[in-house]
A and B are shown apart, each in its own frame.
Chain A
Amino acid sequence: MAKIKIQKKDIWIDMTPMSDVMTLLLCFFMLTSTFLTPEPIQVNTPGSVSEVKIPENDVLTILVSPEGRIYVGTENKNNMQAMMETVTDKFGIQLNGTQVKHFREDPMVGAPLKSLQAYLNLEPEKMGEAIQKLGIPLDSIDGGMSEFQEWVKAARQANEDIKLAIKCDAKTPYKVVKQMMNELQDMNENRYQLITNVQAASEE
């Protein structure tokens, strides 16, 4: 009886070329990467043909969610702390060591002053969740400057050359944007960078 003989083959695959390619890719990604700065909320910026790059330093990002919640933040932690000190001093808020530490770890300011302490007392894991329901109020305090304006003013004090970058969700109603810009205009802050996605000009 003829038996079909199954040939036993060596199933060893040479992984060397693959690992070569992988190393190259890895090097590429490690060198080109700029890490995503964490943001309290995810926004989808609208597309535009403008290709002007955002400067890397001295930028105060104003983040506006589709619901109109406003957050401000800058990449320089020392500026952030200086801002916090200016604003808390003005409103007589005393923060303890843990609260300051939590503030420094937070990427952006987003809590109204009256709940700032309670927010900074939370565990860091819960802060990320809580901040999504907060936001800096635009209402003026006793007819004077609003909390939002105070933060921007403090940022300007902390760093003279700071530029304002507005990162706004495409679906945000213009009403909110108008109110925010109006408050900035009242403070004589008239130049902004609107953060957008690069997109080719549509032809239809």
Chain B
Amino acid sequence: MAKKNLSKQKKMDTRVNFTPMVDMMMLLITFFMLATTLAKPASMQLTMPSNDENVQKEDKSVTKASHTITLYLGADNRVWYIAGLPNYEDPTCVKETTYGAKGIRDVLIKHTVEEGYNPVARIMKAKQELDAKKSAFGSTMTDEQYQQQLSKLKKGELPTGKIETMTVIIRPLDTATYENMVQALDEMLICSVDKYVIDKIGPEDQALIEKAGVK
């Protein structure tokens, strides 16, 4: 009996208490979650016309009247547009619209040029086809090829032939906000409009929009 007692080993509990470790981990995770930016902000490329007088005169390209749309961005998220060249005598050519799909985008897509087609709609359709081709199963198109073809489309070189593209002139008023400008630029991206410019409001425009009630 005494012999048995001697050989008995003490059974130790081998479980380790993890609670403090978990506590610390929780703290660390919280710290990293708060201190990090998971979604890296994106950026939008913008090229402004040069203020240099000499450069401006050389680079002035002429577009057909029906290939032009002018946007006026005003206060309280309101936006006006002129399809075609502005007629400075007649304020009724300035029409009000809204931001987003039912507003500017709709105006751009439905705009018919003098040759009788809708350039924006056709380019957008071609872009959709290109996107489908890229994401199709077994597609071997590289990003570089895609970008190359996309920039061709934006210049109006469609698979069905070359068309003339639209030019959009964005004129934000002083009362507009930065967000309005980005919204307008965004529509250019969505509609694959290649030629757009942010311009200042000249005295003629000023007189016209005052008559049309743009503010």
Contacts and interface: CB of A to CB of B under 8 A. Distances in A.
B5 interface: no
A29 B36 CA distance: 8
B44 A174 contact: no
Interface in A159-204: 165, 168-175, 177-178, 181-182, 184-186, 188, 190-198, 201-204
B32 A171 contact: no
Interface string B15-28: 10111011001101
Contacts of A22: 22, 25-26, 29
A54 B42 contact: yes
Nearest to B28: A26
A198 B42 contact: yes
Most A-side CB within 10 Å, residue of B36, B49, B50, B178: B178
B56 to A, nearest CB: 11
A173 B52 contact: no
Given A177-B178, A202-B100, A54 B40 contact: yes
Interface string B37-73: 1111111111111111000000000000000000001
Interface size class of A (residues with CB under 8 A): 35 or more
B35 interface: yes
A192 B185 CA distance: 13
A36 interface: yes
B189 interface: yes
Interface in B146-190: 172-183, 185-186, 189-190
B35 A173 contact: no
Contact of A52 (B42, B49, B172): B42
Interface string A120-154: 00000000000000000000000000000000000
Interface of B: 15, 17-19, 21-22, 25-26, 28-29, 32-33, 35-52, 73, 100-102, 172-183, 185-186, 189-190, 200
Q: Which 4 pairs, one residue from A and one from B, show the smallest C-beta to C-beta distance?
A: A15-B18, A33-B36, A29-B32, A170-B179
22 contacts: A15-B17, A18-B22, A19-B21, A22-B25, A22-B29, A26-B28, A30-B32, A32-B36, A33-B32, A48-B44, A50-B42, A50-B44, A52-B44, A170-B179, A172-B177, A173-B178, A174-B173, A188-B50, A188-B51, A196-B41, A197-B41, A201-B101
